[in-house]
Amino acid sequence: MSEIKFNEFVDIVKRLRKECPWDKEQTNDSIKASTLEEAFEVVHAIDENDFDELKKELGDLLLHVVFHTQIAEELGHFSIENVIQSITDKMIRRHPHIFGDTTVNNSKDVEKNWETIKLEEGRSSVLDGLPKAMPALLRAHRMQEKASKVGFDWTNSEDVWKKVIEEISELKSAEETKIKNDIEEEFGDLLFALSNYARFIDINPENALRKACSKFDNRFRYIEVKLKENGKHISSSNLEEMDFYWNESKKK
């Protein structure tokens, strides 16, 4: 996008803020949920490998970036130029192997430098910057990933898998106590250990679970369609019948 086109887009957002009754009423807080939704729609388009949809969703996300910035500018905080300058400075600062004289051998060196530079920028912890509102599985993955970049990590996947097995055993023991808080804690520990193991086998657990949810969604909807074709509603079916169509959907 040329500078002229981008400025034209920013001017459109400015005009909407002045002339559209709905747009004028919005605040950063009122549209934050929509911003999150747009980000998820971008991810969905990537999952579907739909580049036409990805183009549209990135446009929607860009709208939110400019819209949030325009609101902030009206409040006297910062402008779109400030936003662009800030991210430009950050990219240059965090890539000294490109824009400076730092030498790296591989991408792991780049990641380690990235975390070190962030601490030098004033962060008090390597784990700073991970929003608590992130999906918990993704947050666990990112926490473990960040800690590993500064050397706090397991040495091999076999030991991580042993930890998974240990957590399964502790969950079963907690179940026997019937104490819900203990069971919940051990279940969380198991998920955390599985997230760590996923990292060792080069799997993003959030992506994996999202794909599993999509697979379940497709197969369960198949059951509903087949039952409807036979004049039945799913609530009047039984497990045996549903399981038959479930297995049929797996073959398809």
Q: Say how far apart CA 47 and CA 207 lie, in whole Å.
A: 9
Show Cβ contacts of residue 132 under 8 Å, excluding neighbours closer than 6 positions. Answer: 139
- Architecture in CATH of 3-93: Orthogonal Bundle (1.10)
Q: Which residue has the tokens 């490998």?
A: 49
Helices (H) and strands (E) in the chain, counts: 12, 0
Q: How far apart are CA 169 and CA 161, in angstroms?
A: 13
Determine the topology of domain 136-203 in CATH.
Helix Hairpins (1.10.287)
Given this model, what pLDDT does residue 108 score?
84
Q: What is the pLDDT along the chain (252 residues), one digit of tens a residue?
A: 566 799 999 999 999 999 999 999 999 999 998 999 999 999 999 989 999 999 999 999 999 999 999 999 999 999 999 999 999 999 999 999 999 999 989 988 898 888 888 888 888 888 988 888 888 999 999 999 999 988 899 999 999 999 999 999 999 999 999 999 999 999 999 999 999 999 999 999 999 999 999 999 999 999 999 999 999 999 999 999 999 999 999 987
Coil/strand/helix, residue 221: helix
> H helices within 20-50, ranges in order?
21-25, 32-47
- Residue 2: its pLDDT value, please? 65
Place of tokens 């520990």: 189
**Those residues with Cβ within 8 angstroms of residue 127's Cβ, 6 or more apart along the chain or in another chain:** 143, 146, 147
Q: Which two tokens stand for residue 124?
A: 């008090």
Domain boundaries, the chain: 3-93, 136-203, 207-251
